[in-house]
Structure 1
Amino acid sequence: MSNGDEPDDGEAALTDLEDFESRLDSVTESLEAAETEADLDDVEATLDATAEALEAADLPEPDDEDEDDPGAELQDRLEDLREDLDAQRGPYLEDVTDDLESVVSTVEGTRWTETGSAELDDAVAGFLKEIGDEIDATVKDGESAERLDAAVEALSELALDPDEDAETIEALLTAVDGLEEGVEAAQSWDDLTVREQLEAEGFYEVLTSQRRKDYPPEWSAVKLYEKRYQHDRSDEEAIEMILLALEKLPGGKDHFMEENVLESLARIAPPEALEDVLPMAGKRNEKAIRVVGKIGDPEALDTLLDFIDGDGDRSLQLETLRAVGAIGSDEATQTVANRLAAEDAEIRSAAARALGRIGDTRAVEPLSDVLADDSEESVRASAAWALVQIGTERAFEAIETNADGSYLVQVEAEKAVLSS
């Protein structure tokens, strides 16, 4: 306002479509003529005032559904002008440091090959040389990420005006763009093929021409590492290489290496493998479940118990019952005992044997009931076997009391008599 009573030309009241269109035309001309940040600030203030006026205006609604909404068209023009305004601002020193910090994040978050590390060092050295005059300091030697961090700090301390120092800021942005290209071109670990990665890790060093008995050679190597681990369970390299093969070599329908590696792990049951295999078990991989069971860590129960309960995949339930039995934690007793009532006789039998391996005396009563009442001889025999494994006086009494003419059950009953 010029005197508190009348609006000046730039603040004229906006009441109809023509007023708004005229104002936006004027903003367009001002934006094209703007040369400084201050000019752009004035344009932004006018856009803000126009948007506020548009929000409050009582503009006519379209008479027909197919007719364009003039208010919506004005709003679109406003948004387009804001985008043009943002594009015309800067460049700012903050843009330089933000882009450089993004490069630092890439450098730190990427695994580089030996070749890639050298290429990365060259790219960083070239960048620092290019901006050396601007930061007026020599960044000390060190890792590439450390040198770039130092450059970010040095650049942040500069006082560059977006108007007066626009050329300098543009030059710095160009230098960062060049650095990004250099980093992108440097060889990272992910640029290597799986075989190249295994080669770089020394995976194939266990092989000689005489020891490549199986195809593919990766399978020969895994079996040799398995043999080494069986001979010396402190052989950290052997298990690391087997787990490397599990990580890198594909599984699925067309590849058998994953299954073979899991079978190898099931034979040697290294505790070091639990962290790698447990997520696979959580995805219902039955071979991984077998490995987890052989390792025997109760930590795995939270992952496995859900696969026992309910009417899930039969094969999955059987494998999980075996694994839980092998783990042998009484935390699983109730969940396993619930499966003594399963419709499938093989699942009932597997549940009984799992309870025997767990050895929890709370299982004596439900196992005794199965021994007395189950219609399947194989299930009753498994219950008798489980009671023998539990081995308490009450367990032996249950076997003697409920032994019948079944040969399988009688065999287990005789074991109980000999053990008592």
Structure 2
Amino acid sequence: MSDEDSEADGDGDIDAEPGTVAFFEERLDAAETALEAAETEADLDDIAATLADIETDLDAAELPTPDEEDEDDPQEVLESRLSSLRDGIEEQRGPYVEDVAEDVEAAGATAQDTRWTDDGQTQVLDAVAAFGEAVDGHVEVEKVESAQEAGDALWATSEAIAALDLGPDEDSDAIATLRTAAQTLNDDLEAAQAYEDLSVREKLTFEGFYEVIEGDHQKDYPPELNAILVWEKRYKDHRDPEDVEPILLAFELLDSEFMEENILDVFERIAPPEAYEPVQQRASRRDKQAVRVLGKIGDQRAVETLVDFIDGDGDPALQRVTLQALGEIGSHEATQAVANRLAADTDSVRSAAARALGLLGDTRAIEPLTDVLAEDDADEVRASAAWALNQIGTERALEIAAEYADDRAYVVQVEAEKAAGV
């Protein structure tokens, strides 16, 4: 670059030789000084143009490479300074009225999307009212009576602010007033009490969880278990899904193995369909109690999860409870997977598989059950196969089971006599 080129780019006061590291450092120093003195958007635009020229020259320059491995690369150092100056330009721009509008829109979303406590609702309304007073004279904020209304009002205000003809230089004071008010509004909403700010006990109280505890029962410990048992009784009496919602809430919130086990006991007794999702999540961790509950609920969506557990990872107890649950759910999609367990090494697992096939009632299971009844070494398993044939109950299934009325094992004889109608 010639000296004339340097002067054309505003580098007339640069003393270093063009194309050298010192040359670029001096140009960046000058740009930094100009940035510190900038007062208008036009000033910042001029500095941005200067940086663009420096970048172009820097890309074309052939700067020395580091002599040693730990030495900084001059090119990278200069590029880093260039990037920092550009960041400085962006930080110094504005504020723009569009930025204020975005802040107010965000406040509207917070007001409307957050679940507030009663105190939080009051704090939201106070914050919106204070914001309205702060921006009075620029825009009008509608008076509101709920957080939902506050969200709508703030979105309308955001649109009104965006439509204001305010420039960042000539109207900087007005924009600063609006921006301060918007930031204060967001800070006030952040400080307002949301449902998620409450402790577990406070959330349960807020939801009316403890309201069913009356009289002397209020002193029973722990009160959470007492309340759950009352909600269980109400659900049994009325089968109203609303009566199981407090139990589900406690299951979600209470971080206690003792309470989780007791709630699962409740679910096992009342088998509410509404409990499927949270119980399935726990069952997916191979929790035996949760698997049992899925069987009681009987939702066929659980079949895919349970079939994956049917081998039990070498855990016969998990295999047995899974087979029982699949039988109770009653989906014929599980028949083949269950029938495969008739070949399990453990007697109790084979017995559970046979009984599960009986609960499934799929006539495709007659043949494998017949083979078990004729060939299995364990009388317990053979008796379960005979029981399963009785459960399937077709003429052919009953005839097969009835053939064993004189079996060596009394438990098999009992099932054969049932099949024969004796």
**TM-score (norm. length: structure 2):** 0.90
How do 1:362-377 residues align onto structure 2 when only pairs under 5 Å count? 362-377=364-379
| TM alignment of 1:206-217, pairs within 5 A | 206-212=212-218, 214-217=220-223
Distance 1:65 1:91, change over 3 A: same
Stretch deviating more after TM superposition (381-390 or 398-407)? 398-407
Q: 2:135 and 2:187 mapped to 1: Cα distance? A: 16
Q: Hey, what's the Cα distance between the residues in 2 that align with 1:9 and 1:18?
A: 19
Decide whether the 8 Å contact of 2:141 with 2:157 is kept in 1: no
Shift of 1:11: 7.2
Please say if residues 129 and 143 of structure 2, whose CA atoms lie closer than 8 Å, have aligned partners that are also in contact: no
Counterpart of 1:384 in structure 2 is: 386
Determine the structure 2 residue equivalent to 1:248.
Answer: 253
Counterparts of 1:155-234 in structure 2, within 5 Å, are 155-212=161-218, 214-233=220-239
Partner residue of 1:331 out of 333, 345, 361: 333
Describe the SS at the equivalent of 1:39: helix
Cα distance in 2 for partners of 1:157, 1:218 equals 54
Q: Which amino acid aligns with 1:281?
A: A
Q: 1:10 aligns to what?
A: 9
- CA shift at 1:121, angstroms? 0.4
Where does residue 38 of structure 1 map in the other structure? 42
Q: Does 2:414 align with 1:415?
A: no
Q: 1:7-406 to 2 correspondence within 5 Å?
A: 8-10=7-9, 15-135=19-139, 137-142=140-145, 143-212=149-218, 214-233=220-239, 235-252=240-257, 256-309=258-311, 311=313, 313-400=315-402, 404-406=407-409
Quick one: which amino acid aligns to residue 356 of structure 2?
A
* Partner-residue secondary structure (3-state), 2:124: helix
For residue 134 of structure 1, give the secondary structure of its aligned residue in structure 2.
coil
Contact 2:338 2:356 (C-alpha < 8 Å) held by counterparts:
yes
CA contact (8 A) 2:386 2:412 kept: yes
The 2-side partners of 1:139 and 1:273 are apart by 43
Q: Secondary structure at the match of 2:137?
A: helix
Q: In 2, distance between residues paired with 1:48 and 1:331?
A: 67
Q: 1:352 to 1:57 in 2, by over 3 A?
A: farther
Partners of 2:9 and 2:53 within 8 A in 1? no
Tell me the TM-score normalised to structure 1 length. Answer: 0.90
Q: Distance in 2 between matches of 1:19 and 1:285?
A: 71
Structure 1 counterpart of 2:421, one-letter code: L
In the TM superposition, residue 333 of structure 1 has moved relative to its aligned partner by: 0.8
What secondary structure does 2:135 align onto?
helix
Q: Is the 8 A contact 2:141 2:154 kept in 1?
A: no
Amino acid at match of 2:9: G
Structure 2, unpaired ranges of 5+: 12-16
Cα distance between partner residues in 2 of 1:313 and 1:176: 60
**Residue type of the alignment partner of 2:305:** T
Structure 1 residue 214 displacement after superposition: 4.4
Quote the offset at 1:218 in angstroms: 1.7
Q: Offset at 1:7?
A: 6.6
Shift of 1:58: 2.6
CA displacement at 1:275 relative to structure 2: 3.5
Give the Cα separation in 1 of the matches to 2:315 and 2:129: 59
Instruction: Quote the Cα distance in structure 1 between the aligned partners of 2:51 and 2:347.
Output: 77
Contact 1:14 1:53 in 2 (8 A): no
Moved over 6 A (4+): none
Distance 1:103 1:138 in 2: 13
The residue type paired with residue 91 of structure 1 is P
**C-alpha contact (below 8 Å) 1:308/1:335 kept by paired residues:** yes
Q: Which amino acid aligns with 1:241?
A: P
Can you list the C-alpha shifts for 1:104-156, whole angstroms capped at 9, x where unaligned? 22222211111110111011111111112111x35253522122112111111
8 Å CA contact retained: 1:24, 1:78: yes
Between Structure 1 and Structure 2, how many residues are aligned? 412
Q: C-alpha displacement at 1:59, in angstroms?
A: 2.1
Residue type at the aligned position of 1:152: S
In the alignment, is the contact (CA less than 8 A) between 2:390 and 2:397 conserved in 1? yes
Q: Distance in 1 between matches of 2:123 and 2:417?
A: 75
Flag the 1:72–1:402 CA change in 2: closer, same or farther, 3 A: farther
- For 2:315 and 2:110, locate their aligned partners in 1 and report how far apart those are by CA, in whole Å: 43
- 1:372 and 1:402 in contact (8 A); partners too: no
Contact 1:213 1:220 in 2 (8 A): no
Percent identity of paired positions between Structure 1 and Structure 2: 54
The amino acid of 1:405's aligned partner reads R
- Opposite residue 395 of structure 2, the aligned amino acid is E
AA partner of residue 250 (structure 2): A
Moved more, 143-152 or 307-316: 307-316
**Paired residue type of 2:301:** E
Q: Which runs of 5+ in 1 are unaligned?
A: none
SS across alignment from 2:109: helix
Whole-Å separation in 1 of the counterparts to 2:286 and 2:106: 38
Q: Find the aligned partners of 1:126 and 1:224 in 2 and give their Cα distance.
A: 45
Matched residue type, 2:222? P
Alpha-carbon RMSD across the aligned residues, in angstroms, is 2.5
